[in-house]
Copies of this chain bind each other. A is one copy, B any other.
Amino acid sequence: MKVVCQGNELSDALAKVVKALPIKRTTPILDGVKITAIGDTLTLFATDLELAIEKKINAQVLIEGEIVVPGKLFADYAKKIEHEEVELDGTNPSRLNIRYMDSELFINCFDNEEYPIFKEIDTQKSFIVLKKDLKQIINKVIFNVAVDDARPTLRGVCMNIKDDEVEAVASDGYRLALTKTMIKNNGVIDRIVVPAKSMAEVARLIDEGEETITVYVEDNYIMIDLFHTKIVTRLISEEYINYEKIIPNVFTTEVTLDKKAFEEAIDRAALINRLDKRSCVKMEIKEDILQLYAHSDDGEINEKMAIGLKGKDLTIGFNSKYLIDCMRAIEDKVIKLNFTTSTAPSIINGEDPNWLYLILPLRVIG
Chain A residues near B (Cβ < 8 Å) = 70, 73, 76-77, 80-81, 95, 101-108, 264-265, 267-268, 271-272, 297-305
User: How long is the Cα–Cα vector from A17 to B268 in the complex, in angstroms?
Assistant: 21
User: How long is the Cα–Cα vector from A61 to B95 in the complex, in angstroms?
Assistant: 73
Q: List 23 A-B contacts (CB under 8 A).
A: A70-B298, A73-B271, A73-B298, A73-B299, A76-B271, A77-B268, A77-B271, A80-B267, A81-B268, A95-B299, A101-B304, A102-B304, A103-B265, A103-B302, A104-B302, A105-B272, A105-B300, A105-B301, A107-B298, A107-B299, A108-B297, A108-B298, A108-B299
- In the complex, what residue of chain B is closest to A107 when comparing beta carbons? B299
- In the complex, what residue of chain B is closest to A102 when comparing beta carbons? B304
Which residues of chain B have C-beta atoms less than 8 A from A305's C-beta?
102
Which residues of chain B have C-beta atoms less than 8 A from A76's C-beta?
271
CB proximity of A85 to chain B, nearest CB, Å: 16
List 13 extra interface pairs beyond A80-B267, A102-B305, A108-B297, CB under 8 A: A73-B271, A73-B298, A73-B299, A77-B268, A81-B268, A103-B301, A104-B302, A105-B299, A105-B301, A105-B302, A106-B299, A107-B298, A107-B299
Which residues of chain B have C-beta atoms less than 8 A from A73's C-beta?
271, 298-299
This chain: copies in complex:
2
Which residues of chain B have C-beta atoms less than 8 A from A104's C-beta?
301-302
- In the complex, what residue of chain B is closest to A295 when comparing beta carbons? B106
- In the complex, what residue of chain B is closest to A265 when comparing beta carbons? B103
User: How long is the Cα–Cα vector from A277 to B310 in the complex, in angstroms?
Assistant: 66
Which residues of chain B have C-beta atoms less than 8 A from A304's C-beta?
101-103
- In the complex, what residue of chain B is closest to A106 when comparing beta carbons? B299
User: How long is the Cα–Cα vector from A81 to B108 in the complex, in angstroms?
Assistant: 55
The residue in A297, A299, A305 that gathers the most chain B C-beta atoms within 10 A of its C-beta is A299
The residue in A105, A107, A301, A305 that gathers the most chain B C-beta atoms within 10 A of its C-beta is A105
CB proximity of A109 to chain B, nearest CB, Å: 9
User: How long is the Cα–Cα vector from A105 to B103 in the complex, in angstroms?
Assistant: 62
Contact of A301 among B106, B108, B265 (CB under 8 A): B106
CB proximity of A272 to chain B, nearest CB, Å: 7
User: How long is the Cα–Cα vector from A264 to B102 in the complex, in angstroms?
Assistant: 14
Once the chains bind, are B106 and A300 in contact (CB under 8 Å)? Answer: yes
- In the complex, what residue of chain B is closest to A70 when comparing beta carbons? B298
Once the chains bind, are B301 and A268 in contact (CB under 8 Å)? Answer: no
CB proximity of A67 to chain B, nearest CB, Å: 13
CB proximity of A94 to chain B, nearest CB, Å: 11
Which residues of chain B have C-beta atoms less than 8 A from A300's C-beta?
105-106
- In the complex, what residue of chain B is closest to A301 when comparing beta carbons? B105
User: How long is the Cα–Cα vector from A106 to B271 in the complex, in angstroms?
Assistant: 12
Which residues of chain B have C-beta atoms less than 8 A from A81's C-beta?
268
- In the complex, what residue of chain B is closest to A108 when comparing beta carbons? B299
Which residues of chain B have C-beta atoms less than 8 A from A80's C-beta?
264, 267-268, 271
Once the chains bind, are B298 and A105 in contact (CB under 8 Å)? Answer: no
User: How long is the Cα–Cα vector from A65 to B299 in the complex, in angstroms?
Assistant: 21
User: How long is the Cα–Cα vector from A264 to B84 in the complex, in angstroms?
Assistant: 13
- In the complex, what residue of chain B is closest to A69 when comparing beta carbons? B299
Which residues of chain B have C-beta atoms less than 8 A from A267's C-beta?
80
